[in-house]
Amino acid sequence: MLSAQMINGLLLTCIVLLCIILVIVKYRGSLRLRHSTMQVAPESKDATLEALMEYIKNALHELSHSQMADAGLHEEEYRRRIHQRAELRRALKDCANGSSGDKRFVKNLMAELLINGYGLNEKIVDTVMPFSRPELFSVQDQFEIVFYQYQQKFGVDALSRLLDTYDLAEMRYSQQGEEDGSYHITAEDIRYIYDYEHRPLSFLEKVDIIVQRIYQHYKGFSVIDDIRDQRIDGVSGGVSGVPEGGIPVSADWPQDHYAFEPTSEPIANGYESVWIFYKGKTIHLSFLSFGSERELKRVCQNIYKYNYPGQLSEANGYKVNEMKDGSRVVVVRPPFSESWAFFVRKFDIQSASLEQLIKGENAEFPIQLLSYLMKGSRITAITGAQGSGKTTLLMAMVKHIYASYTLRVQEMAFELHLRSIYSRRNILTFRETDHISGQQGLDLQKKTDGTVNILGEVASDEVAAWMIQMSQVASLFTIFTHHAKTFRDLVFSLRNSLLKTGVFQHEGIAEEQVVHVINFDVHLKRDAEGRRYIERITECVPHDPDHTDSGSSSVSSYSYRHVMEYRNGRYMAMEPLTVKSTEEMCEQMNVKDAGDFRRFLTRYWGEAYES
């Protein structure tokens, strides 16, 4: 039998061996984690953007998928590592959805990996991009360097400051004449700005520029990645140039049908298509290119993915969605469209006030009038072409609805974001989905205690018909946007929607229903220079069989009067509001607002309201 001393010696030996094994396991685990993000600094001649991108992909994959169980970590350290890995996975997913915070997190991690892991130094950065020989920079390099410098100074206003400083958003004309004027920014513009603006960059600034170039091709949206984050109206791609494979030609058409006169300019490819929407102007960034059809396709396939809206496919050739920052994104693909393309529309919530939106001589007149239309609970249409500012004006008008009223909003995609602007109000927004139609959403709104109904856009016959019915019985009043060019077009469009959906069979009755619902039309316009303004505010005057109120233009069952028009840069009071309308508005206002409203009427229309 073994003595007690021998047994103790064996136990002690076993404990020592176990400790040695645990130390070795822990060391090897930590070594494996270090090697997953470290490598010996390469020769500078081997360092390229492609090599750095491949390293970043592998390093981030290792960090986000590393196995912690065999790393020999204490429980507290193990939990911390698990939390860090989960945070990294979430950031890698959300950074491509429009989250600026997650984008910064991922880019900072990339920079740390390149410096501390890859061994990026001053010598290598000058090999990756020719910072020491700026004459070798491409136009894209020059733009991104200048843009980076402006971002350091002005943040999300960098692009607008750059455009305004160098008058890049002004109309350009060729030698052929003014009829071919367009908005575009050329490579020559960028070279001139770079020569004037560039300055020596520090090592960390060079790393930032390299990291952004890697990020935009790995997780971002290619050349529009930083542009999309700016405070502009929108950005689009794939909407000009010849698509991959060329323009399809019908076999029934003559061979020389597409034979155009030769021009001095080379034909642009479909991926050489970056456009921005700025202050109502659509500007072509002709110096930027996605580089290939494949890269444009990658951007289109990723930019709409926030909250899993479904798959873009040949059978479902378009998607409408929003991004995490509230931007609206529309993506289309062949065969539905002739090429892959995307449209990002941004809405400046910070500018959503009537005072900021409505400028010009006597601007206080339409500002006050719109305020009283909301306080007076008038059913109001906001009409105008795309890009005229309908959505932003609607955001601003909501401020003047009494705060005690509950608001229910129906949209195709979340654009208004009224709860972000008016966070203490009772507001709930619904949108269409693949399984819930717009009219089903409007039907549900009747059961949600809504005082005011807001429709982001009346774009289909079903929604138009439901809007008319809902305005009659389901809410105090309704505000909606529409693309009608004139007030008569608005009435005809809504009347035809009632007929098409079978709600009414007789044209006259359908029109009568429409004109008894709509009280006012606010029509917006954007001129050739990109200026936005309210062209007119029109009151609808339904004809009473027993009493006909004088109107400016008698049309069947109604007349209409322009109570305000924009002429020669000035907002002018035209025909006065009808007595019936003013009385109904005063009934909906509190005592103070009603008194202010009557004084407002007297100020601008004088004798028509003096009693």
For residues 366-384, give the mean pLDDT.
96
Q: Which CATH class is domain 128-173+180-243+268-345?
A: alpha beta
Strands (E), 442-557: 452-455, 477-482, 520-526, 532-542, 553-555
Asked if 521 contacts 495 with a C-beta cutoff of 8 angstroms, the reply is no
Q: What is the DSSP string of 558-577?
A: EEEEEEEEEETTEEEE-SPP
Residue 610 has pLDDT above 80, yes or no: no
In the prediction, which pLDDT does 554 show?
Answer: 43
Give the pLDDT band of residue 485 (cuts 50, 70, 90).
very high
Any idea what DSSP says for residue 61?
H
In whole angstroms, how far apart are CA 431 and each of 380, 410, 411, 452, 470? 21, 6, 5, 16, 17
The helix/strand/coil state of 494 is: helix
Give the pLDDT band of residue 268 (cuts 50, 70, 90).
confident
In the prediction, which pLDDT does 537 show?
Answer: 97
The helix/strand/coil state of 178 is: strand
**Cα distance between residue 428 and residue 391, in whole Å:** 17
Task: Tell me, rounded to whole angstroms, the distance of Cα 266 from its chain centroid.
Answer: 32
- Reported pTM: 0.74
- From first CA to last CA, the distance across the chain in angstroms is 124
Asked if 574 contacts 564 with a C-beta cutoff of 8 angstroms, the reply is yes
Any idea what DSSP says for residue 113?
I
Asked if 275 contacts 283 with a C-beta cutoff of 8 angstroms, the reply is yes
Domain ranges of the chain: 128-173+180-243+268-345, 349-606
Report helix angle 364-375 to 579-588, nearest 10.
Answer: 70
In the prediction, which pLDDT does 27 show?
Answer: 45
- Tell the burial category of 482 from Cβ atoms under 10 Å away from its Cβ (0-12, 13-18, 19+): buried
Asked if 480 contacts 467 with a C-beta cutoff of 8 angstroms, the reply is yes
Give the pLDDT band of residue 98 (cuts 50, 70, 90).
confident
Please name the residue that has the structure tokens 């429409």: 514
**Cα distance between residue 375 and residue 398, in whole Å:** 10
Residue 11 has pLDDT above 80, yes or no: no
Averaged pLDDT of the chain: 84
**Cα distance between residue 474 and residue 519, in whole Å:** 16
Residue 349 has pLDDT above 90, yes or no: no
* pLDDT greater at residue 45 or residue 467: 467
Neighbours of 602 (CB within 10 A): 14
% residues pLDDT > 90 (the chain): 50
In the prediction, which pLDDT does 351 show?
Answer: 57
**Cα distance between residue 73 and residue 255, in whole Å:** 73
Neighbours of 219 (CB within 10 A): 22
pLDDT in tens, 28-64: 544 444 444 445 445 555 688 999 999 999 999 888 8
In the prediction, which pLDDT does 429 show?
Answer: 87
Q: How many helices (H) and strands (E) does the chain have?
A: 21, 19
Neighbours of 64 (CB within 10 A): 17
Cα dihedral: 111, 112, 114, 116 (round 10): 160
Residue 151 has pLDDT above 70, yes or no: yes
pLDDT in tens, 559-607: 999 999 999 999 999 999 999 999 999 999 999 999 999 999 999 998 6
Q: What type of residue is 209?
A: I
**Cα distance between residue 122 and residue 107, in whole Å:** 19
Residue 273 has pLDDT above 50, yes or no: yes
pLDDT in tens, 177-191: 544 678 999 999 999
Beta bridge partners, 461, equal: none
Output phi, psi for 533, to 5 deg: -160, 165
In the prediction, which pLDDT does 555 show?
Answer: 56
In the prediction, which pLDDT does 58 show?
Answer: 92
For residues 522-549, give the mean pLDDT.
82
- Tell the burial category of 563 from Cβ atoms under 10 Å away from its Cβ (0-12, 13-18, 19+): buried
pLDDT in tens, 396-444: 999 999 999 999 888 877 777 788 888 889 999 887 777 777 677 777 7
At the fourth CATH level, the homologous superfamily of domain 349-606 is P-loop containing nucleotide triphosphate hydrolases (3.40.50.300)
Q: What type of residue is 508?
A: G
Task: Tell me, rounded to whole angstroms, the distance of Cα 562 from its chain centroid.
Answer: 33
Residue 279 has pLDDT above 90, yes or no: no
Least confident among 131-135, 357-361, 471-475, 491-495: 471-475
Beta bridge partners, 407, equal: 427, 452
SS (H, E, C) 375-407: HCCCCEEEECCCCCCHHHHHHHHHCCCCCCCCE
